[in-house]
Structure 1
Amino acid sequence: MNAVHEELAAAGVATVYEAYGRRGLLDVDLQPLAAGRRAAGPARIALCGQGDNRAVHEVMAHLRPGEILVLTMPEPAPVALLGDLLATQAQARGAAGILVNAAVRDSAGLAAFDVPIWTRWRRATGATKDTRGGVDVPVTIGGTRIAPGDLLVLDDDGATAVSESDVDDLRDAVRQRLAKEEGLRARWAAGELSYDAYGLRAEDERGRS
C-alpha cells in the first residue's frame, strides 16, 4: 500500500464512507476470512461469466502489487471463483486484498494467507472455465459502481469504494472526521452525553410539552 492507501485503510470502512458523504458502500454481506484485517488499494476487476472463473485466470496476468482484486459475476451466486491455487497466484503478484462477490473454497487455508480475502459465501461448488468474461471493466456490487482503478477500502465492516479522482480530497475529509471524532470521544469519556450535546433531549422534552 502507498501512504494514502495505508492511511485510508487505517481509518476504516465506516469512517471513509461517512467522510465521502455516505457514498460508495458495497451494500452486500461481505465476510472477511480472517477477522481484524484491513486493506485498501485500486481495483483490478474480473467480471466472470455466470458460474465461470476463466476471467480470474486471465486477470492474474494484469494484477499489480498493491491492487485489490475484485471478482464478480453478472448475478452473484455461491459458486467458488477462488480457491487455494488462484489465491496463491494473487498473493505472489502482490495483491493488497481480494474481494469475491461470489464464493471461495479452501477457506480454512485461505484465511491464513498473507493477502486478506473477503467473500459473500464459502462453498465448494466449482466454476466452469468456458466463458472468457471481461477484465478491467466497470462492475456494480451492492449498488455501487466500481471502475478499474477506483479505490477500495475493506475491513470487518465490509467494503466501500471511492472514485479514483476523489481520493486526495477524501483523505483531507477523513482527517477532519477523525479529528472531530477524537474530540467527541474525549467529551463522552469525560461524562458528557450525546443526547444533550446534539439537542435531542431538548427536542424530546418540547415534544412532550
Structure 2
Amino acid sequence: MSSDTITELARLGSATVYEAGGRRGYVDLDLHQIVPGSRAAGPARTVRCGQGDNLMVHAAMAALAPGDVLVLTMPEPAPVALVGDLLATQAQVRGAAAVLVDAAVRDVEELREMGLPIWARWVRVHGAAKDVSGALDVPVAVGGATIRPGDVLVLDADGVAVVEAERVDEVLAASQERERKEAVKRAKLQAGALSYELDGLRERVEGAAP
C-alpha cells in the first residue's frame, strides 16, 4: 500500500476509520497516549513475547521496517515494562511509525521528549526479563481485536482502530465519504439545525405524527 494511503488514514483518525469500516477492529482498552497530540498509521509488525519478558522486542528491532507499527504482546497482559527509552530509541532510528504495547512502558518523560508515538496499557517501573523466546509476525489479540502482520493500525487520542490488510482501500474510500458527509452535516448544525431532526431521531423518541 502507498505512503499516501497510510498518511490519509492517519489524518482521518481512528474514530472515522472504525465507523466507516463497519465498526470492526476496535482495540477496547484504556490506553496511555505517551506523546500527547500524536497520531499515526501503518502496517502491524506483531510480537508475542514470553510472559514478563521482552527478549523478542529486542529481536523485533532487527526485523523492523520503516513505517511499521510495532505491536507488543504477552500471553497474558501484565503491568511489566516491555519498552523503555533505549528500545524506543532503536525503534525510532529504524523508522517505526508507532508502538502499541499491550503491557507497560517506562521512562515516560524521555519517551515524550523523543516524540515517537507510543500507546501503552500501563506505565510501570517494573522491568522485563530477557530469557524467553517468543514469536514474530504472528496474529495477536489486543483489547478484543485480532491484529495480523500487515493489518493497518490507525492510532490517535481516541484510541486504536485495526483495518484488515485486504480491506484498506475499501475502508479508506468509506472513511473519506464519511468525512464528506459529516462536513455537510456540520455546516447544517452550525447554521442552527438539530441532529434530532436531521437524523430522524424525533420519531424514535416521540413516535410518528398521527
Quickly name the TM-score band, shorter chain normalised.
over 0.9
Trace 1:126-137 onto structure 2 (pairs within 5 A): 126-137=127-138
Trace 1:29-178 onto structure 2 (pairs within 5 A): 29-178=30-179
Report the Cα offset of residue 130 of structure 1.
1.0
Query: What is the CA–CA distance in structure 1 between the aligned matches of 2:50 and 2:76, rounded to whole Å?
Result: 9
Q: TM-score, normalised by structure 2?
A: 0.96
Distance change in 2, residues 1:50/1:200 (3 Å): same
Asked if 2 retains the 8 angstrom alpha-carbon contact of 1:31 and 1:156, the reply is: no
Where 2:62 maps in the other structure, the secondary structure is coil
Report the Cα offset of residue 113 of structure 1.
1.5
Where 1:60 maps in the other structure, the secondary structure is helix
Asked if 2 retains the 8 angstrom alpha-carbon contact of 1:137 and 1:148, the reply is: yes
Asked if 2 retains the 8 angstrom alpha-carbon contact of 1:31 and 1:158, the reply is: no
Asked if 1 retains the 8 angstrom alpha-carbon contact of 2:35 and 2:115, the reply is: no
Query: What is the CA–CA distance in structure 1 between the aligned matches of 2:206 and 2:4, rounded to whole Å?
Result: 48
Asked if 1 retains the 8 angstrom alpha-carbon contact of 2:9 and 2:41, the reply is: yes
Amino acid of the structure 2 residue aligned with 1:10: R
Report the Cα offset of residue 201 of structure 1.
1.9
Moved over 6 A (4+): none
Structure 1 unaligned spans of 5+: none
Query: What is the CA–CA distance in structure 2 between the aligned matches of 1:179 and 1:207, rounded to whole Å?
Result: 30
Structure 2 unaligned spans of 5+: none
Aligned to 1:24: 25
Query: What is the CA–CA distance in structure 2 between the aligned matches of 1:67 and 1:94, rounded to whole Å?
Result: 7
Range 199-208 or range 21-30, more displaced: 199-208
Amino acid of the structure 2 residue aligned with 1:157: D
Query: What is the CA–CA distance in structure 2 between the aligned matches of 1:97 and 1:168, rounded to whole Å?
Result: 21
CA RMSD of superposed structures (Å)? 1.5
Identity of aligned residues (%): 56
**Paired residues, what number?**
209
Amino acid of the structure 2 residue aligned with 1:193: L
Aligned to 1:6: 7
Amino acid of the structure 2 residue aligned with 1:139: V
Asked if 2 retains the 8 angstrom alpha-carbon contact of 1:98 and 1:116, the reply is: yes
Amino acid of the structure 2 residue aligned with 1:79: V
Asked if 1 retains the 8 angstrom alpha-carbon contact of 2:35 and 2:116, the reply is: no
Report the Cα offset of residue 124 of structure 1.
0.4
